[in-house]
Structure 1
Amino acid sequence: MGKHIIRTEVEIDASAEQVWSVLSDFNSYPEWNPFIKSAVGQPIKGERLQITIQPSGAKPMRFSPKVLASEPGRELRWLGRLIVPGIFDGEHCFIIEKLSDTKVRFEQSERFSGLLVGPLRATLERDSKRGFEEMNQALKTRAETIVFDKRA
Protein backbone atom coordinates (compact mmCIF):
# COMPACT_ATOMS: atom_id res chain seq x y z
CA MET A 1 0.00 0.00 0.00
CA GLY A 2 1.37 3.39 -0.99
CA LYS A 3 1.96 6.36 1.30
CA HIS A 4 2.86 9.95 0.55
CA ILE A 5 2.98 13.16 2.60
CA ILE A 6 2.77 16.74 1.36
CA ARG A 7 3.65 19.49 3.85
CA THR A 8 3.72 23.26 3.34
CA GLU A 9 4.00 26.19 5.74
CA VAL A 10 3.90 29.96 5.90
CA GLU A 11 4.42 32.56 8.63
CA ILE A 12 1.46 34.88 9.16
CA ASP A 13 1.56 38.23 10.97
CA ALA A 14 -1.68 37.70 12.88
CA SER A 15 -2.77 36.05 16.11
CA ALA A 16 -3.68 32.35 16.28
CA GLU A 17 -7.30 33.39 16.97
CA GLN A 18 -7.42 35.59 13.87
CA VAL A 19 -5.99 32.85 11.65
CA TRP A 20 -8.45 30.35 13.12
CA SER A 21 -11.37 32.72 12.50
CA VAL A 22 -10.48 32.84 8.78
CA LEU A 23 -9.72 29.10 8.53
CA SER A 24 -12.91 28.00 10.31
CA ASP A 25 -15.25 30.41 8.47
CA PHE A 26 -16.20 27.98 5.71
CA ASN A 27 -18.92 30.27 4.34
CA SER A 28 -16.28 32.81 3.23
CA TYR A 29 -14.05 30.29 1.39
CA PRO A 30 -15.47 31.17 -2.06
CA GLU A 31 -14.40 34.80 -1.46
CA TRP A 32 -10.71 34.12 -0.83
CA ASN A 33 -9.66 30.46 -1.02
CA PRO A 34 -8.07 29.52 -4.37
CA PHE A 35 -7.78 25.81 -3.43
CA ILE A 36 -10.76 24.79 -1.28
CA LYS A 37 -13.48 26.37 -3.40
CA SER A 38 -16.29 25.26 -1.11
CA ALA A 39 -16.58 23.82 2.40
CA VAL A 40 -19.98 23.02 3.84
CA GLY A 41 -20.50 21.86 7.41
CA GLN A 42 -19.07 22.72 10.81
CA PRO A 43 -15.43 22.37 11.94
CA ILE A 44 -16.48 20.14 14.84
CA LYS A 45 -14.98 16.73 15.68
CA GLY A 46 -17.15 13.94 14.29
CA GLU A 47 -18.94 16.14 11.73
CA ARG A 48 -18.99 15.23 8.04
CA LEU A 49 -18.09 18.04 5.62
CA GLN A 50 -18.77 18.58 1.92
CA ILE A 51 -15.52 19.83 0.36
CA THR A 52 -14.71 20.91 -3.20
CA ILE A 53 -11.02 21.40 -3.98
CA GLN A 54 -9.56 22.68 -7.22
CA PRO A 55 -5.86 23.42 -7.53
CA SER A 56 -5.21 26.04 -10.23
CA GLY A 57 -5.23 24.44 -13.66
CA ALA A 58 -6.80 21.19 -12.41
CA LYS A 59 -10.33 19.77 -12.34
CA PRO A 60 -12.47 20.14 -9.22
CA MET A 61 -12.77 17.18 -6.85
CA ARG A 62 -15.60 16.73 -4.35
CA PHE A 63 -15.46 14.60 -1.23
CA SER A 64 -17.07 14.23 2.20
CA PRO A 65 -14.38 14.00 4.87
CA LYS A 66 -15.02 13.41 8.56
CA VAL A 67 -13.54 15.92 11.04
CA LEU A 68 -11.01 14.10 13.25
CA ALA A 69 -9.84 17.08 15.34
CA SER A 70 -10.89 20.68 15.83
CA GLU A 71 -9.07 22.82 18.39
CA PRO A 72 -9.77 26.54 17.93
CA GLY A 73 -6.57 28.50 17.38
CA ARG A 74 -4.51 25.31 17.02
CA GLU A 75 -5.63 22.50 14.69
CA LEU A 76 -8.21 21.33 12.18
CA ARG A 77 -7.89 17.82 10.77
CA TRP A 78 -10.14 15.68 8.59
CA LEU A 79 -10.06 12.31 6.81
CA GLY A 80 -11.36 11.92 3.27
CA ARG A 81 -11.71 8.62 1.40
CA LEU A 82 -12.26 7.59 -2.17
CA ILE A 83 -15.05 4.98 -2.22
CA VAL A 84 -13.83 2.61 0.51
CA PRO A 85 -10.92 2.63 3.01
CA GLY A 86 -7.60 1.54 1.52
CA ILE A 87 -8.14 2.74 -2.05
CA PHE A 88 -7.17 6.38 -1.57
CA ASP A 89 -7.35 8.02 1.86
CA GLY A 90 -6.22 11.53 2.69
CA GLU A 91 -5.78 12.92 6.19
CA HIS A 92 -5.67 16.70 5.78
CA CYS A 93 -4.23 18.73 8.63
CA PHE A 94 -4.04 22.46 9.34
CA ILE A 95 -1.80 23.42 12.28
CA ILE A 96 -1.56 26.93 13.74
CA GLU A 97 1.61 27.28 15.82
CA LYS A 98 1.73 30.44 17.92
CA LEU A 99 5.13 32.15 17.60
CA SER A 100 4.05 35.33 19.45
CA ASP A 101 0.83 37.22 20.13
CA THR A 102 0.94 38.61 16.60
CA LYS A 103 2.68 35.89 14.58
CA VAL A 104 1.98 32.22 13.80
CA ARG A 105 3.39 29.46 11.67
CA PHE A 106 0.59 27.91 9.60
CA GLU A 107 1.24 24.39 8.38
CA GLN A 108 -0.96 22.58 5.89
CA SER A 109 -0.24 18.93 5.24
CA GLU A 110 -1.87 15.78 3.97
CA ARG A 111 -0.95 12.17 4.54
CA PHE A 112 -2.12 10.01 1.65
CA SER A 113 -2.39 6.23 1.81
CA GLY A 114 -3.94 3.49 -0.29
CA LEU A 115 -3.62 1.55 -3.51
CA LEU A 116 -3.88 4.62 -5.79
CA VAL A 117 -1.17 6.69 -4.06
CA GLY A 118 1.63 5.30 -6.27
CA PRO A 119 -0.05 6.06 -9.60
CA LEU A 120 -1.20 9.50 -8.36
CA ARG A 121 2.03 10.55 -6.60
CA ALA A 122 3.26 12.92 -9.35
CA THR A 123 -0.15 14.61 -9.61
CA LEU A 124 -0.37 14.99 -5.82
CA GLU A 125 3.12 16.49 -5.63
CA ARG A 126 2.39 18.91 -8.49
CA ASP A 127 -1.28 19.93 -8.17
CA SER A 128 -2.09 19.36 -4.50
CA LYS A 129 1.13 20.95 -3.26
CA ARG A 130 0.53 23.98 -5.50
CA GLY A 131 -3.03 24.21 -4.15
CA PHE A 132 -1.74 24.11 -0.55
CA GLU A 133 0.79 26.86 -1.26
CA GLU A 134 -1.80 29.05 -3.01
CA MET A 135 -4.22 28.62 -0.10
CA ASN A 136 -1.49 29.36 2.47
CA GLN A 137 -0.67 32.66 0.75
CA ALA A 138 -4.35 33.62 0.43
CA LEU A 139 -4.94 32.77 4.12
CA LYS A 140 -1.91 34.88 5.05
CA THR A 141 -3.21 37.83 3.02
CA ARG A 142 -6.73 37.58 4.43
CA ALA A 143 -5.67 37.13 8.08
CA GLU A 144 -3.15 40.00 7.85
CA THR A 145 -5.73 42.23 6.11
CA ILE A 146 -8.25 41.59 8.89
CA VAL A 147 -5.57 42.54 11.42
CA PHE A 148 -4.83 45.73 9.48
CA ASP A 149 -8.55 46.62 9.23
CA LYS A 150 -9.01 46.24 13.00
CA ARG A 151 -6.10 48.60 13.72
CA ALA A 152 -7.37 51.29 11.38
Structure 2
Amino acid sequence: MPTISHTIDIAAPADRVWAILTDTTAYPEWNPFITNLDGSLTRGSQLAVTIALPGAKPRRFTPTVTAVEPERRLAWLGRLLIPGIFDGAHSFDIEPLTPESTRFTQSERFSGLLVMMLPGMLRSTESGFAAMNTALAARAEE
Protein backbone atom coordinates (compact mmCIF):
# COMPACT_ATOMS: atom_id res chain seq x y z
CA MET A 1 0.00 0.00 0.00
CA PRO A 2 1.18 3.56 -0.59
CA THR A 3 3.38 5.46 1.80
CA ILE A 4 4.05 9.18 1.58
CA SER A 5 6.85 10.93 3.37
CA HIS A 6 8.56 14.30 3.66
CA THR A 7 11.90 14.94 5.36
CA ILE A 8 13.51 18.23 6.32
CA ASP A 9 16.74 19.10 8.11
CA ILE A 10 16.25 21.72 10.83
CA ALA A 11 18.93 23.96 12.33
CA ALA A 12 17.69 23.40 15.89
CA PRO A 13 18.22 20.72 18.55
CA ALA A 14 15.92 17.71 18.76
CA ASP A 15 14.46 18.80 22.11
CA ARG A 16 13.29 22.10 20.57
CA VAL A 17 11.70 20.32 17.59
CA TRP A 18 9.96 17.89 19.98
CA ALA A 19 8.71 20.74 22.19
CA ILE A 20 7.13 22.49 19.20
CA LEU A 21 5.66 19.27 17.78
CA THR A 22 4.05 18.34 21.10
CA ASP A 23 2.77 21.83 21.98
CA THR A 24 -0.45 21.15 20.14
CA THR A 25 -2.26 24.16 21.62
CA ALA A 26 0.04 26.37 19.50
CA TYR A 27 -0.75 24.58 16.20
CA PRO A 28 -3.24 27.24 15.05
CA GLU A 29 -0.41 29.81 15.26
CA TRP A 30 1.98 28.09 12.89
CA ASN A 31 0.78 24.76 11.46
CA PRO A 32 -0.85 25.05 8.01
CA PHE A 33 -1.61 21.31 7.77
CA ILE A 34 -2.73 20.13 11.23
CA THR A 35 -4.72 23.18 12.22
CA ASN A 36 -6.07 21.72 15.46
CA LEU A 37 -5.19 18.77 17.67
CA ASP A 38 -7.02 17.99 20.91
CA GLY A 39 -6.23 15.15 23.27
CA SER A 40 -3.42 13.66 25.28
CA LEU A 41 -0.26 12.59 23.48
CA THR A 42 -0.04 9.33 25.39
CA ARG A 43 -0.07 5.82 23.95
CA GLY A 44 -3.63 4.53 23.58
CA SER A 45 -5.25 7.98 23.75
CA GLN A 46 -7.72 9.08 21.13
CA LEU A 47 -7.09 12.46 19.52
CA ALA A 48 -9.32 14.88 17.64
CA VAL A 49 -7.27 16.12 14.68
CA THR A 50 -8.26 18.67 12.05
CA ILE A 51 -6.23 18.73 8.85
CA ALA A 52 -6.37 21.26 6.04
CA LEU A 53 -5.42 19.73 2.70
CA PRO A 54 -4.59 22.23 -0.04
CA GLY A 55 -7.75 23.02 -2.02
CA ALA A 56 -10.11 21.08 0.27
CA LYS A 57 -12.33 21.76 3.25
CA PRO A 58 -10.74 21.02 6.64
CA ARG A 59 -11.32 17.43 7.73
CA ARG A 60 -11.59 16.11 11.28
CA PHE A 61 -10.70 12.59 12.35
CA THR A 62 -10.03 10.72 15.58
CA PRO A 63 -6.83 8.65 15.47
CA THR A 64 -5.38 6.63 18.34
CA VAL A 65 -1.85 7.33 19.55
CA THR A 66 0.35 4.28 18.94
CA ALA A 67 3.82 5.53 19.94
CA VAL A 68 5.33 8.31 22.04
CA GLU A 69 9.12 8.33 22.36
CA PRO A 70 10.17 11.78 23.64
CA GLU A 71 12.49 13.62 21.28
CA ARG A 72 12.34 10.65 18.87
CA ARG A 73 8.88 9.59 17.63
CA LEU A 74 5.17 10.30 17.76
CA ALA A 75 2.73 8.08 15.86
CA TRP A 76 -0.98 7.45 15.52
CA LEU A 77 -3.40 5.25 13.59
CA GLY A 78 -6.49 6.72 11.97
CA ARG A 79 -9.36 4.78 10.44
CA LEU A 80 -12.42 5.56 8.37
CA LEU A 81 -15.40 3.84 10.00
CA ILE A 82 -14.01 0.31 10.46
CA PRO A 83 -10.56 -1.27 9.96
CA GLY A 84 -9.76 -2.10 6.35
CA ILE A 85 -11.79 0.62 4.64
CA PHE A 86 -9.23 3.43 4.79
CA ASP A 87 -6.49 3.32 7.41
CA GLY A 88 -3.55 5.64 7.88
CA ALA A 89 -0.54 4.99 10.12
CA HIS A 90 0.98 8.46 10.62
CA SER A 91 4.37 9.12 12.19
CA PHE A 92 6.69 11.97 13.07
CA ASP A 93 10.32 10.92 13.47
CA ILE A 94 13.05 13.10 14.97
CA GLU A 95 16.69 12.23 14.37
CA PRO A 96 19.40 14.36 16.00
CA LEU A 97 22.16 15.05 13.46
CA THR A 98 24.34 17.21 15.72
CA PRO A 99 23.64 18.87 19.07
CA GLU A 100 22.18 21.81 17.09
CA SER A 101 20.56 20.13 14.07
CA THR A 102 17.78 17.64 13.54
CA ARG A 103 16.27 15.61 10.72
CA PHE A 104 12.45 15.57 10.89
CA THR A 105 10.43 13.07 8.86
CA GLN A 106 6.66 12.97 8.63
CA SER A 107 5.16 9.92 6.93
CA GLU A 108 1.95 7.98 6.53
CA ARG A 109 1.30 4.45 5.33
CA PHE A 110 -2.16 4.05 3.86
CA SER A 111 -4.07 0.79 3.57
CA GLY A 112 -7.62 -0.34 2.95
CA LEU A 113 -10.16 -0.77 0.19
CA LEU A 114 -10.55 2.92 -0.67
CA VAL A 115 -6.87 3.91 -0.84
CA MET A 116 -6.38 3.33 -4.56
CA MET A 117 -9.52 5.36 -5.35
CA LEU A 118 -8.10 8.53 -3.79
CA PRO A 119 -4.79 9.34 -5.55
CA GLY A 120 -5.51 13.09 -5.51
CA MET A 121 -5.91 13.06 -1.75
CA LEU A 122 -2.56 11.31 -1.36
CA ARG A 123 -0.83 14.02 -3.44
CA SER A 124 -2.55 16.75 -1.39
CA THR A 125 -1.47 15.06 1.83
CA GLU A 126 2.14 15.05 0.66
CA SER A 127 1.87 18.81 -0.02
CA GLY A 128 0.42 19.25 3.47
CA PHE A 129 3.37 17.37 4.99
CA ALA A 130 5.81 19.64 3.15
CA ALA A 131 3.99 22.78 4.31
CA MET A 132 3.91 21.62 7.94
CA ASN A 133 7.55 20.52 7.94
CA THR A 134 8.66 23.85 6.46
CA ALA A 135 6.63 25.78 9.04
CA LEU A 136 7.98 23.60 11.87
CA ALA A 137 11.54 24.29 10.73
CA ALA A 138 10.90 28.03 10.55
CA ARG A 139 9.45 28.05 14.08
CA ALA A 140 12.27 25.92 15.52
CA GLU A 141 14.94 28.07 13.88
CA GLU A 142 13.53 31.39 15.22
TM-score range, shorter chain: over 0.9
User: Aligned equivalents of 2:100 and 2:40: distance in 1?
Assistant: 26
Deviation at residue 54 of structure 1 after TM alignment = 0.6
| Coordinate RMSD, CA, aligned | 0.7
| Partner of residue 129, structure 1 | 126
**Which structure is larger by alpha-carbon Rg, 1 or 2?**
1
Equivalent residue of 1:97, what SS? strand
| Partner of residue 51, structure 2 | 53
| Partner of residue 148, structure 1 | none
- 1:3-152 correspondence runs (5 A): 3-124=1-122, 126-145=123-142
Deviation at residue 66 of structure 1 after TM alignment = 0.4
Contact 1:4 1:121 in 2 (8 A): no
User: Aligned equivalents of 1:102 and 1:42: distance in 2?
Assistant: 28
User: Aligned equivalents of 1:91 and 1:47: distance in 2?
Assistant: 15
- Normalization by structure 1: what TM-score? 0.91
- Normalization by structure 2: what TM-score? 0.98
Deviation at residue 121 of structure 1 after TM alignment = 2.2
Count of matched residue pairs: 142
User: Aligned equivalents of 2:40 and 2:89: distance in 1?
Assistant: 17
Structure with higher helix content: 1
| Partner of residue 149, structure 1 | none
% identical aligned pairs: 52
Where does structure 2 lack aligned partners over 5 or more consecutive residues? none
Equivalent residue of 2:125, what SS? helix
Q: Which amino acid aligns with 2:24?
A: F
Deviations 1:18-69 (A, max 9, x none): 0000000010000000000100012111111000001222221111000000
